[in-house]
Amino acid sequence: QSALTQPASVSGSPGQSITISCTGTSSDVGGYNYVSWYQQHPGKAPKLMIYDVSDRPSGVSIRFSGSKSGNTASLTISGLQAEDEADYYCSSFTTSSTYVFGTGTKVTVL
Amino acid sequence: EVLLVESGGGLAQPGGSLRLSCAASGFTFSSYAMGWVRQAPGKGLEWVSIISNSGSSTYYADSVKGRFTISRDNSRNTLYLQMNSLRAEDTAVYYCASRYAVNKAFDYWGQGTLVTVSS
């Protein structure tokens, strides 16, 4: 159950687009289309942003989108805004019916 | 409105025990799987455990297997995490989370309860 690999930090200017990668194995990311993404602001509980690779829960901005290719999933934030500055974690359901989270990415809005 | 409220956190000694509770409201608790996720101070999220809606199926992270037990009381709309043989590395904020409107993700989260393991 090794953590999924994410870049430690990603930054962008307001209005730009950024992409966060999430690399796993064929036992997790590559095994199912059950990748999810969470946003966490300091001192707050995580918030689900994307589930099932590319679906958005009700109320989540369309600026957030997800995709997957092989063992790597990606989260793209378009039209970057100040409130998007937060930590982002990917997660995947695994072939052992467990879950694994990513190492986390700090997004900075310049 | 879905609401999850954790309790039971606090200070425990190494080798000691603690039981966390998560009171759920705003949805039909007995219909949905529930889980625990933790976050050590300044660190990332770590999945801990999940239990099916009926309680018949449970799964654990390798780091807690054999020491932690997840359970639920559907009559009380409450989720539990019994933590035994606690170690310093179990120090974390523990969140309960539901798999409510989505299949394999956690869409509602509690505010978390802090567990500190120290002598």
Chain A residues near residue B35 by CB distance under 8 angstroms = 99
Residue whose structure tokens are 């992409």: A19
* A8-38 residue pLDDT tens: 999 999 999 999 999 999 999 999 999 999 9
Amino acid making up residue B113: T
Measured distance CA(A21)–CA(A37) in Å, rounded:
11
Residue B101 has pLDDT above 90, yes or no: no
Q: Is the pLDDT of residue B102 over 90?
A: no
DSSP letter at A14? T
Residue B96: name the closest of B84, B83, B113, B82 by CA.
B113
CB contacts, 8 Å: A103 with chain B: 44
pLDDT value at residue B103: 81
A52 vs B: CB within 8 A: yes
Q: Is B45 within 8 Å of A91 when comparing Cβ atoms?
A: yes
Predicted pLDDT at B4: 98
Q: What is the pLDDT at residue B64?
A: 98
| Integer CA distances (angstroms), B101 to A41, A100, A109, in order | 23, 20, 31
SS3 call for A30: coil
Tell me whether residues A36 and B61 touch, CB distance under 8 A.
no
**Cβ atoms B85, B77 nearer than 8 A:** no
Q: 3-state class of B30 per DSSP?
A: helix
Task: State which amino acid sits at residue A81.
Answer: Q
Confidence at residue A9, expressed as pLDDT on a 0 to 100 scale: 98
Chain-wide mean pLDDT for chain A?
97
CA distance A32 to A24: 11
Compare CB distances from A100 to B47, B103, B109 and report the shortest one's residue.
Answer: B47
Distance between CA atoms of B25 and A45, rounded to whole angstroms? 17
Q: Find the range with the poorest average confidence among A42-56, B12-26, B49-63, B93-107.
A: B93-107
User: Phi and psi dihedrals of B48, rounded to 5?
Assistant: -110, -55
Contacts of A34 in chain B (CB under 8 A): 103-105
pLDDT score for A1: 81
Interchain contact B1–A (C-beta under 8 A): no
Angle at B109 between CA B107 and CA B111, to 5 degrees: 160
Question: How far is the C-alpha of B56 from the C-alpha of B81, rounded, in Å?
Answer: 15
Q: Using a pLDDT cut of 70, give the percent of chain A over it.
A: 100
Q: Are B73 and B80 in contact (CB under 8 A)?
A: yes
Separation CA B78–CA B51 (nearest Å): 12
User: Is 90 exceeded by the pLDDT of residue B100?
Assistant: no
Q: Which of residues 59-118 of B touch A (CB under 8 A)?
A: 59-63, 95, 101-107, 109-112
Which tokens go with B78? Answer: 């409450």
Residue A72 to chain B, least CA–CA distance (Å): 18
How far apart are the CA of A35 and the nearest CA of chain B, in angstroms?
Answer: 8
What value does the mean pLDDT of chain B take? 97
Among A39, A55, A98, A106, pick the best mutation site for testing chain B contact (most B Cβ within 10 A).
A98
Q: What is the pLDDT of residues B50-63, one digit of tens each?
A: 999 999 999 999 99
**What does R_g of chain A's alpha carbons equal in angstroms?**
13
